[in-house]
Amino acid sequence: MPPAESNLPNASPIVPGNQQLIESDKLFASIKPRSRLPTQHDISPLQPQRSRNFGENRPYLAVDVITPEDSRPSTPHSLKSMVDFDGLSWPSLGTRERLEATPEEAAARLNKLSGAIKTILECIGEDPNREGLLDTPMRHAKAMLYFTKGYEENLKSIVNNAVFQEDHDELVIVRDIEVFSMCEHHLVPFTGKMHIGYIPNNKVLGLSKFARIAEMFARRLQLQERLTKQVAMAIEEILQPQGVAVVMESAHLCMVMRGVEKTTATTTTSSMLGIFRKSTRTREEFMHLVKH
């Protein structure tokens, strides 16, 4: 008797990857998205299994469950990309004013930020007029604008037509990309390394562009989880590959200098799209090569 479809409340239908074409073709003249080739993976099709939680002690609660085809459930952000090719990607809104500011507007912004830093110095009990702090507000304002220069960059200028037709369908990995970013919760840095892998679908990207994409998203107020996913989504949107994998390892000063004050704690996040989400073997190959 064929297995019945699952009626479990948490079951969700398997939705194919986003096949929509990039609307702003003019921004990427060299990129002509095409429908992806069907991918094979090592996960067996839906199979009925006996629930491990029930059955022995409470046989009347034993149910048949369905093993999902995907080895990891899909997420809304991986099914529907929110990459904005102007560089103002989710969740950053309104940064176009900074991107397109005139020299006069940029100077006014710098002076306003400098005044805010002076107020901070006063609030913590310092004297902004003493010799050592006279130029600190302006120096810090310039530094803060540099730390967040990713708001003034966009994918169009970074990619710059560095997408090439190439008949390669094996794993490509760029390892140990240094990342410096600012935690949006406490405005203190977190630093680490990012590893990016993808399996091309007849198109490859210049290798330096992966580091530049990571840098663009990192130079904004961030969460490590969001940063990891944004990089993966951007690469997927640009190349339409068979799959993208991004892993990031970092240390957060908000855990070191304050709060729990654990100096050796590190955080690892990952974002797996396409075949890396579907295939355990492909994902394990990527993780093995990243570690070694």
Residue 51 included in any domain: no
Q: Does residue 183 carry a catalytic annotation? A: yes
Q: What is the DSSP string of 17-29?
A: PP-PPPS-GGGGT
- Quick one: pLDDT at residue 44? 39
Q: Does residue 225 carry a catalytic annotation? A: no
Task: Given the residues 166, 178, 184, 284, select the one marked as catalytic.
Answer: 184
143 shares its domain with 169: no
Q: Does residue 222 carry a catalytic annotation? A: no
147 shares its domain with 216: no
Residue 144 included in any domain: yes
172 shares its domain with 210: yes
Task: Given the residues 77, 249, 254, 285, select the one marked as catalytic.
Answer: 254
Task: Given the residues 41, 222, 224, 237, select the one marked as catalytic.
Answer: 224
Single out the residue in 106, 133, 151 at which a domain terminates: 151
141 shares its domain with 197: no
Question: Which pair of structure tokens corresponds to residue 192?
Answer: 């680490």
Task: Given the residues 186, 236, 285, 288, select the one marked as catalytic.
Answer: 186
Q: Which of 270, 280, 229, 275 is nearest to 250 (CA)?
A: 270
101 shares its domain with 189: no
Q: Does residue 252 carry a catalytic annotation? A: yes
Q: What are phi and psi of 44, to 5 degrees?
A: -70, 155
Residue 33 included in any domain: no
- Taking only the tens place, the pLDDT of each residue in 217-226 is 999 999 999 9
Q: Does residue 168 carry a catalytic annotation? A: no
Q: Does residue 77 carry a catalytic annotation? A: no
Our count of domains for the chain comes to 2
Structural domain containing residue 143: 94-151
CATH code of the domain covering residue 197: 3.30.1130.10
- 3-state SS of 127-155 is CCCCHHHCCHHHHHHHHHHHHCHHHHCCH
- Mean pLDDT for 38-52 is 44
Q: Does residue 140 carry a catalytic annotation? A: no
Q: What is the largest CA-CA distance in the chain?
A: 85
Q: What percent of the chain has pLDDT over 70?
A: 67
- Quick one: pLDDT at residue 145? 94
- Taking only the tens place, the pLDDT of each residue in 176-212 is 999 999 999 999 999 999 999 999 999 999 999 999 9
Contact 222, 92 (CB under 8 A): no
